[in-house]
Amino acid sequence: MLNRALVTLLPLVPRPLVWRVSKRYIAGKSLEAALDCVRTLNEQGMSATLDVLGEDTAVAEDAVKGRDLYLAALEAIEKAHLDCNISVKLSQMGLRFDPELCRSVMRDLVSSAATRGNFVRIDMEDATATQITLDLYRELRRTWNCVGTVVQAYLKRTPEDVDQLLKEGLATLRLCKGIYVESQAIAFQGKEQIRIAYTEILRQLFEGNSAKVGIATHDRPLVEAALAMIKELEIPPERYEFQMLLGVTESMRQELVTAKHPLRVYVPFGEEWYAYSSRRLRENPQIAGHVFRNLFRRSS
C-alpha cells in the first residue's frame, strides 16, 4: 500500500535519483552501453535481446530514429559476434499514426536481420494492438522466417490465437503474462487464474509442436511448472528458452543457467529511460520504496 502511494509521488522525485534506481533495469542511454551489457551477459552464458526504449511515438521522425537505432544495433551485434537479437514495439514504429510507415519500418528491420542471420521479436502491446500485431506478423512471415511475436496469457483470446498460429505453422512465440491494464471482459484479472492460463498455453505450445518458445516470467511457481513440463514432455533445449528482464530475479536467472537451461535477458536501453522506468515502477511498486529510501539516505 505504502509503495503504491509512493508511486503516485514519483513525478516529484528528481530524475537523477530515479536514474540511480533505474540503472539496474536499463543497460544505459547509449548503444555502446547496451552492447557492453550484452557482452557481459554472453560471457555469463546468457543470450540477450535489445530493446531501444520508446513507445507510442507521435511523429514519423521518432519512428525513423528508432528504426535507425535498431539497424545500428543489428550491425553492431553482427560485427561484435554477440548472441543477441532485437525486440521491437510497433507503437514505437508509428503504428498509432501511420500504419504504412510502421509496416515499411518493420520490413526494413526484418530484412536487415535476415541478411545478418539475426531475429526480430515483435513485442505485444495493449489489446487495441493485438490483432493488428498478429496481422503484421503474419504478413512479415510470408517473406521471412526470422521474426516472432508475443502472446499474453491474461488475454482470453490467446488460446484461440495460439491454436490458429500452430495450424499455420507460425507459432514462433514468447509467452508472457501481459503487462497492460485490460478489462475483465477480455482479460483474466486474478494472479492464480493468469498462472493457470499461462501453464495451459505453454502446454498447448509444446504439445502443438511450436517453434522455440520464449518462457518470459520471473514468477517462481511458473518457472517451476515450466521446468516440470519440459521434463515430462522431454522438450529439448532447442525448443525453449527462459526470458527475464535485466536486473530482475537475478538469482533465479543464475539457477537456470547453472542447470544449463537456455536463458535470454531483455536489455532495454536508450534516451527514453524515464518513461520506461515509470512504467516498471508502476508495475512493481516495491521498487518505488527503494527510490524513496535512497532519497532519505542522501539527505541524512
Ligand X SMILES: Cc1cc2nc3c(=O)[nH]c(=O)nc-3n(C[C@H](O)[C@H](O)[C@H](O)COP(=O)(O)OP(=O)(O)OC[C@H]3O[C@@H](n4cnc5c(N)ncnc54)[C@H](O)[C@@H]3O)c2cc1C
The Cα–Cα gap between 12 and 227 comes to 43
Among 70, 188, 240, 266, interactor with ligand X by CB under 6 A: 266
Which cell goes with 60? 514519423
Among 67, 96, 141, 177, interactor with ligand X by CB under 6 A: 177
Least distance in Å: CB of 263 to ligand X? 10
Among 98, 284, 285, 290, interactor with ligand X by CB under 6 A: 284
Site for ligand X in 2-31 (CB under 6 A): none
DSSP 55-92: -S--SHHHHHHHHHHHHHHHHHHHHTT--EEEEE-GGG
Catalytic member of 123, 141, 253, 280: 123
The Cα–Cα gap between 253 and 242 comes to 9
Which cell goes with 18? 530515479
150 near ligand X, rule: CB under 6 A: yes
DSSP 83-106: -EEEEE-GGGGTTTT-HHHHHHHH
240 near ligand X, rule: CB under 6 A: no
Among 73, 244, 288, 295, interactor with ligand X by CB under 6 A: 244
Give 32's Cβ-side CA count (13 Å radius): 0
Of 79 and 279, CB closest to ligand X: 279
Q: Length of the chain in residues, anyone? A: 300
Which cell goes with 292? 524513496
* Residue span 42-71 as binding mask against ligand X, x where in contact by CB under 6 A, dash where not: ------------------------------
Residues 87, 121: contact at Cβ < 8 Å?
yes
Q: Where are the alpha helices (DSSP H) in 144-187?
A: 158-168
Residues 186, 180: contact at Cβ < 8 Å?
no
Q: Around Cβ 97, how many Cβ atoms within 10 Å?
A: 14
Least distance in Å: CB of 202 to ligand X? 12
Catalytic member of 174, 195, 253, 264: 174
Residues 74, 115: contact at Cβ < 8 Å?
no
Least distance in Å: CB of 214 to ligand X? 7
132 near ligand X, rule: CB under 6 A: no
Of 106 and 244, CB closest to ligand X: 244
The Cα–Cα gap between 63 and 105 comes to 8
Which cell goes with 244? 527475464
Least distance in Å: CB of 219 to ligand X? 4
210 near ligand X, rule: CB under 6 A: no
Among 102, 280, 291, 295, interactor with ligand X by CB under 6 A: 280
The residue range among 2-10, 32-40, 216-224, 270-278 that interacts with ligand X, by the rule CB under 6 A, is: 216-224
The Cα–Cα gap between 46 and 263 comes to 5
Among 180, 199, 229, 292, interactor with ligand X by CB under 6 A: 180
Among 112, 130, 158, 217, interactor with ligand X by CB under 6 A: 217
Let me know if 174 is a catalytic residue.
Answer: yes
Of 28 and 75, CB closest to ligand X: 28
291 near ligand X, rule: CB under 6 A: no
What is the contact surface with ligand X in residues (CB under 6 A)? 123-124, 150, 152, 176-180, 216-219, 243-245, 248-249, 266, 280, 283-284, 287
Q: Which residues are catalytic?
A: 123, 174
